């Protein structure tokens, strides 16, 4: 186990209530934040992973009335069985953490992430009410980090993050494609042991990308392999995306891949051009939707990113050799 005990005291709740849990209770389903309704609402969850890591996710929605205000939300006190690397990263919003031991404020949000190398935590968390907060936290024990990366490489990572010493904290700018790996770890579609295995695999991808960025490529990790990792992540993200597919230039910027390498790399991995591949996958999904639901074709076309339903009908006919209307008619006859 990594975390010995945790206590969260909700400073914004009327009764100043809190919750405490021991090392065996680090698996926690979505739990509501205890905050006044006039501020907003949110929830928090914690998952203990197979390789003895803990990942947490929290989402807070603010009322318009608190926009521009810095809101003290909770005091966090934690003890660890060993020194840990703790990462805190927001997909949305801005957070200010006051470390009571160092007496310093650390501001992080979006591409700027907070890294802590600590064996005890006592801090006050304040949230900027100007924007809803979506934050992911990862806690990795030093022994686990040493086992995964090797002791020397793990120390190089801590040095690159400016948290070599225990009880050190730093805010570092992290490329968006690396942060996306962390933010996409927890899937709402997978649960139980399979869900944990999925999260653990994503966390390992994140640690690889983080290490490579802050330490540099090893002999067995070339820049080309890093590009392939980003293309795989882009592929997974696009399959989850509804609506219009971003342009090649937009994707190149988002995933920090030169346009030509992105185009050629995607074709080399998946056997087809990026837009042809995504179009075929989406049209196959639409075929199933046409059979199993009565969703209007205009809505299906819009969800797939087509500007007009006729464009969807044309693309569907080219791929399958018959129109989506025929699919609906055949299904209607069977039912």
Residue 146 pLDDT: 94
Asked if residue 225 has pLDDT above 80, the reply is no
**Domain-terminating residue out of 221, 236, 254:** 221
- How confident is the model over 217-237, as a mean pLDDT? 74
**Domain-terminating residue out of 271, 287, 307:** 271
State what percent of residues in the chain have pLDDT above 90.
52
Same domain, 168 and 56: yes
Asked if residue 221 has pLDDT above 60, the reply is no
- 25 phi and psi, to 5 degrees? -120, 25
Same domain, 185 and 165: yes
- How confident is the model over 25-31, as a mean pLDDT? 83
What b/e string do you get for 270-303 counting C-beta neighbours within 10 Å, with b at 16 or more? beeebeebbbeebbeebeebbeeeeeebeebbbb
What b/e string do you get for 8-17 counting C-beta neighbours within 10 Å, with b at 16 or more? bbbbbbeeee
Q: How many CB atoms lie within 10 A of CB 330?
A: 13
Asked if residue 88 has pLDDT above 50, the reply is yes
Same domain, 89 and 232: no
Same domain, 286 and 243: no
Same domain, 14 and 116: yes
Same domain, 289 and 153: no
Residue 247 pLDDT: 87
Residue 157 pLDDT: 93
Asked if residue 10 has pLDDT above 80, the reply is no
Q: Check if the beta carbon of residue 174 is closer than 8 Å to that of residue 207.
A: no
Q: Count Cα atoms within 13 angstroms, Cβ side, for 279.
A: 16
The whole-model pTM stands at 0.65
Residue 119 pLDDT: 94
Residue 83 pLDDT: 96
Which residues, 6 or more positions from 244, have their beta carbon under 8 angstroms from its beta carbon?
305
Q: Which residue has the higher pLDDT, 59 or 38?
A: 59
Same domain, 328 and 250: no
Asked if residue 107 has pLDDT above 80, the reply is yes
Strand partners, 17: none
Same domain, 196 and 302: no
Q: Check if the beta carbon of residue 88 is closer than 8 Å to that of residue 76.
A: no
Residue 217 pLDDT: 42
Which residues, 6 or more positions from 111, have their beta carbon under 8 angstroms from its beta carbon?
173, 174, 175, 176, 179
Same domain, 131 and 255: no
Which run of H or E residues covers position 209? helix 192-215
Same domain, 31 and 148: yes
Asked if residue 245 has pLDDT above 70, the reply is yes
Q: Is 206 left (phi over 0), alpha (psi -120 to 50) or beta?
A: alpha
Question: What CATH code is carried by the domain that includes residue 294?
Answer: 1.10.10.60
Range of the domain at 249: 225-271
Same domain, 75 and 204: yes
Asked if residue 326 has pLDDT above 60, the reply is yes
Residue 14 pLDDT: 56
Instruction: For residues 108 and 88, give the distance between their C-alpha atoms in angstroms, rounded to a whole number.
Output: 8
Same domain, 108 and 204: yes
Residue 268 pLDDT: 92
**Domain-terminating residue out of 186, 204, 221:** 221
Tens digits of per-residue pLDDT, 113-151? 999 999 999 999 999 999 999 999 999 999 999 999 998
Number of domains in the chain: 3
Choice among 54-58, 203-207, 276-280, 326-330 with the minimum mean pLDDT: 326-330
Q: How many CB atoms lie within 10 A of CB 188?
A: 6
């Amino acid at each position: 186990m990594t975390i010995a005990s945790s206590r969260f005291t909700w400073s914004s709740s009327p009764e100043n209530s809190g919750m405490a849990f021991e090392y065996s209770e680090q698996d926690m389903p979505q739990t509501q934040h205890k905050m006044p309704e006039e501020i907003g609402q949110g929830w928090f969850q914690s998952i203990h992973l197979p390789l003895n890591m803990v990942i947490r996710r929290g989402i807070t929605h603010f009322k318009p009335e608190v926009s521009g205000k810095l809101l003290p939300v909770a005091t966090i006190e934690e003890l660890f069985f060993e020194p840990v690397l703790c990462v805190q990263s927001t997909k949305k919003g801005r957070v200010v953490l006051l470390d009571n031991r160092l007496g310093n404020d650390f501001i992080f949000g979006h591409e700027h992430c907070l890294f802590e190398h600590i064996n005890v935590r006592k801090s006050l968390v304040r949230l900027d009410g100007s924007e809803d907060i979506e934050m992911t936290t990862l806690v990795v024990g030093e022994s686990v980090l040493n086992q995964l990366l090797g002791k020397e490489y793990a120390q190089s990572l801590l040095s690159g993050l400016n948290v070599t010493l225990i009880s050190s904290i730093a805010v570092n700018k992290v490329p968006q494609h690396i942060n996306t790996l962390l933010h996409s770890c927890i899937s709402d579609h997978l649960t139980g042991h399979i869900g944990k295995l999925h999260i653990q695999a994503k966390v390992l991808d994140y640690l690889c990308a983080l290490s490579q960025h802050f330490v540099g490529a090893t002999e067995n990790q070339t820049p080309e392999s890093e590009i392939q990792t980003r293309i795989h992540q882009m592929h997974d993200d696009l399959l989850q995306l509804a609506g219009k597919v971003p342009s090649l230039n937009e994707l190149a910027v988002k995933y920090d891949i030169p346009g030509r390498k992105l185009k050629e790399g995607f074709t080399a991995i998946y056997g087809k051009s990026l837009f042809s591949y995504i179009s075929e996958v989406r049209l196959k999904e639409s075929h199933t939707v046409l059979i199993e639901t009565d969703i209007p074709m205009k809505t299906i076309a819009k969800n797939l990113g087509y500007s007009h339903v006729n464009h969807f009908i044309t693309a569907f006919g080219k791929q399958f050799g018959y129109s989506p209307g025929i699919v609906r008619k055949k299904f209607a006859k069977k039912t």
